[in-house]
Chain A
Amino acid sequence: MQILYFAWVREKIGMAGEEIARPDHVTDIGTLMRHLATLSPRHSDAFANPMTIRAAINQDFATAGDAVTDSDEVAFFPPVTGG
């Protein structure tokens, strides 16, 4: 699945996105965040406090319980600050 990072999540992880193989137990945003946190020390740091991170599935805002599949584009980012 395609993962994208924005703002300080992107800076902490050190890349704008990556393609990952979804483990079977990763079925929603919450389990995906816990999985991503295991990928490297930088990932672990970025996802240390999941409450500070927001997500989108296929360009729509999503919450921890929303389901993810292999074909999804999932983005992680801080709360938005536009306007």
Chain B
Amino acid sequence: MARIAVQEAPFDIAAETAALTEGRTDIGALASFTGLCRADDGLAAMVLEHYPAMTERALAKIAAEAEARWPLTGCTIIHRVGRLVPGAPIVLVLTASSHRSAALEACAFLMDWLKTKAPFWKREEFTTGHARWVEARHEDSAAAQRW
């Protein structure tokens, strides 16, 4: 059963990692991905909107798909929402397994599916005062389809 969280607050990677491995001796690999807010083109902040009633359910479905495809001993997805400034962490994905390939592949799969199958929308605010909604990238759907 995956740990899923959608929150405004930052996450503690060390604590989340410890929660997946604590008291276990069967885990040989722990893969982690952290997505950060990048200051492209004078970006001042990124505002993440989501569909509260649907978000955690969509993330749980994506996690269940990963658990069905790879022999994971644990899986964590934490996605932040609200206003995030450059340098701030946005998303954390952790996967634990007996072996490296399952953990690494499941981690990449979760990020690819997160980008195309979870109801989040990013709005960029620039130092000029201009703002725009981020458009979905074709490369992201292509990456999601490779699984």
- For B64-97 the 0/1 string (1 means CB < 8 A from A) is 0000000000000001000000000011000000
Assess the B121–A83 pair: CB atoms within 8 A.
no
In the complex, A70 Cα to B133 Cα: how many Å? Answer: 31
Tally of A interface residues using CB under 8 Å: 17
- For A31-64 the 0/1 string (1 means CB < 8 A from B) is 0000000000000000000000000100111000
Interface residues of A (CB under 8 A from B): 4, 6-8, 56, 59-61, 73, 75, 77-83
Assess the A59–B53 pair: CB atoms within 8 A.
yes
**B interface, size bucket:** 20 to 34
Which residues does chain B contribute within 8 Å of A77, judged by CB atoms?
Answer: 51, 119, 121
Assess the B120–A82 pair: CB atoms within 8 A.
yes
A48 vs chain B, min Cβ distance (A):
16
Interface residues of B (CB under 8 A from A): 35, 48-51, 53-54, 57-58, 79, 90-91, 111, 114-123, 133-136, 140
In the complex, A81 Cα to B122 Cα: how many Å? Answer: 6
